[in-house]
Chains A and B, each alone.
Chain A
Amino acid sequence: MEIRVYISCCGAEKTLAAVQQAVKQAGVTAHVEVVNDYAEIARAGILSTPAVKIDGRTVVSGRVPQVTDLVTSLITAASKATTS
């Protein structure tokens, strides 16, 4: 699955760490892409960073996500991907 992490400055490292840990915990294979270009962020429709999109769906924006929440989102996204 495709994970995009949108960061500008605040909480960038924490968010990335949370995403990496969540991927590990959820046991999914994911491609994590970091986006820190303002134009890209704006085109993605993100209004506040840090933000995370999983397979094109925004799961968090404007704050550093909790690992447990990310794990839940990842597992749901994975099951959606297999059923569809």
Chain B
Amino acid sequence: MSEAETIADIGAGPSKVGGPRENRARFIEALLGLVAWGLLYSQLDAFAAWFTHDFLRLTEGGHMAGAVEFFVADAPKVLMLLVLITFIVGITRTFLTPERIREILAGRNELAGNVLAAILGVPTPFCSCSAIPLFLGFLQSGIPLGVAMSFLITCPVVNEVALAMLYGIYGWKIAGLYAALGMAKGVLSGLLIARMRPERFLEPWVADLVRPAHGTQSEEADNSLRMNWTARIDSAIVSVRETLAGVWHYLVAGIALGAAIYGYIPVEFVGQYMGKQAWWNVPVAVVLGLPLYASAAGVFPIFQALLSKGAALGTSMAFMMSVIGISIPELVMLRKVIKPPLIWTFVGFVALGIVIVGYVFNLLI
């Protein structure tokens, strides 16, 4: 978040921002924190094994041992990854403010704009209500509707939290494929939508607003340049705190559901309905997942549990992406600026894209 320094800046001039010495100390503190994080994280598996088998003396391979190990190993892992990711994303966001993203996207030609929009969509946090002002801001500065749609589609589907958790638990190949396919989907959808002359589906007041005469410049576009490391780290810590406060109930529910699936749903059942051989399960997973909404942190434990029970990777991935990708409140908000045909096109592209991603995963891995 970029605004802390605006306040500091008009608050009391440069003295308020903190000198270079304070900056360095804060930076070192953050580095030490990262090292401590790494040490703790590397010991989690060993700790879980010790806790389950030596401390609680549960028999290896038993239902209970499995569920307990899931809890004491994966829950803290997911939580720690979440803290690290939101911190890193928090720092990134002090550089990539919405104003900066708009600046980067404005004036690009079509393809480059779509690709950049898809890339920038990854680390951008996206709550359904922040979407509209950002979307309008993009259009106002002359960013083509197709490019704005690329951003809008990639932003929730390739989620930085899901990405980092996939990387942390399943490795870079799966995480990389997820990101690449998700972005490709955003780019292609945006390009195709642009072919539909989508401008006619803007609500009239939006069309008025984006006519050049109304173009507004936001005066704080260069904020990020003035921010120092103390401010960046502080703002990242605030975003970690806010994210945890916002998602912990999803996380707990997700982990509990995951553990229940892990402990009590038989492998044969999951394998039969969610395995690779059932070709129809990818679209079904998407249809089930689209109307549901949970944050990535909440779906991830469920995803993990399904996978460990023999569900196909593509099917589980499709379910996860469709749960985090679209939410009903977001569509209701979008309806205020664009007309139903474009909304349905948007939903259609998101759904179709996820189905394709699911099949590709099932084919490749």
Q: Which A residues lie at the B interface, using CB under 8 A? A: 8-10, 38-39, 41-49, 57-63, 65, 69-70, 72-73, 76-77
With a CB–CB cut-off of 8 A, which chain B residues contact A77?
10
Closest A residue to B217 using CB positions: A45
Contact pick for B133, options A42, A65, A73, CB 8 Å: A42
B3 touching A61, Cβ below 8 Å: yes
Bound complex: CA A48 to CA B354 (Å)? 28
**Given contacts A47-B133, A49-B133, is CB(A58)–CB(B7) below 8 Å?**
no
**Given contacts A38-B133, A39-B209, A62-B130, is CB(A45)–CB(B7) below 8 Å?**
no
B337 touching A58, Cβ below 8 Å: no
Could you list 19 A-B pairs, sorted by A, with CB under 8 Å?
Answer: A38-B133, A41-B133, A42-B140, A45-B219, A46-B137, A48-B98, A49-B129, A49-B133, A57-B10, A57-B219, A58-B6, A59-B3, A59-B6, A59-B7, A60-B6, A60-B7, A62-B130, A63-B3, A65-B3
With a CB–CB cut-off of 8 A, which chain B residues contact A38?
132-133, 136, 336-337
With a CB–CB cut-off of 8 A, which chain A residues contact B214?
43
User: What 4 pairs across the A-B complex have the smallest Cβ distances?
Assistant: A45-B218, A47-B98, A72-B11, A9-B129
Bound complex: CA A70 to CA B97 (Å)? 20
With a CB–CB cut-off of 8 A, which chain A residues contact B225?
none
With a CB–CB cut-off of 8 A, which chain A residues contact B336?
38
**Given contacts A42-B133, A76-B12, is CB(A10)–CB(B219) below 8 Å?**
no
Closest B residue to A42 using CB positions: B136
Q: Which B residues lie at the A interface, using CB under 8 A? A: 1-4, 6-7, 10-12, 16, 97-99, 102, 127-130, 132-134, 136-137, 140, 205-206, 209, 214, 216-220, 238, 242, 333, 336-337
A47 touching B102, Cβ below 8 Å: yes
Closest A residue to B127 using CB positions: A10
With a CB–CB cut-off of 8 A, which chain B residues contact A48?
98, 130, 133-134
Contact pick for A73, options B10, B102, B205, B238, CB 8 Å: B10
A62 touching B129, Cβ below 8 Å: no
Bound complex: CA A10 to CA B333 (Å)? 12
Bound complex: CA A69 to CA B10 (Å)? 10
With a CB–CB cut-off of 8 A, which chain A residues contact B16?
72
Q: Whole-angstrom distance from the CB of A42 to the nearest CB of chain B?
A: 4
Contact pick for A49, options B130, B205, B220, B242, CB 8 Å: B130
Q: Apart from A9-B128, A63-B1, what are 7 other A-B pairs with CB-CB below 8 Å?
A: A38-B136, A43-B209, A46-B133, A58-B219, A62-B2, A62-B97, A62-B130
Q: Whole-angstrom distance from the CB of A62 to the nearest CB of chain B?
A: 6
Bound complex: CA A72 to CA B254 (Å)? 41
**Given contacts A42-B209, A45-B217, A57-B219, is CB(A69)–CB(B133) below 8 Å?**
no
Q: Whole-angstrom distance from the CB of B92 to the nearest CB of chain A?
A: 14
Bound complex: CA A63 to CA B4 (Å)? 10
A69 touching B99, Cβ below 8 Å: no
A58 touching B10, Cβ below 8 Å: no
B7 touching A73, Cβ below 8 Å: yes
**Given contacts A48-B133, A62-B3, is CB(A43)–CB(B10) below 8 Å?**
no
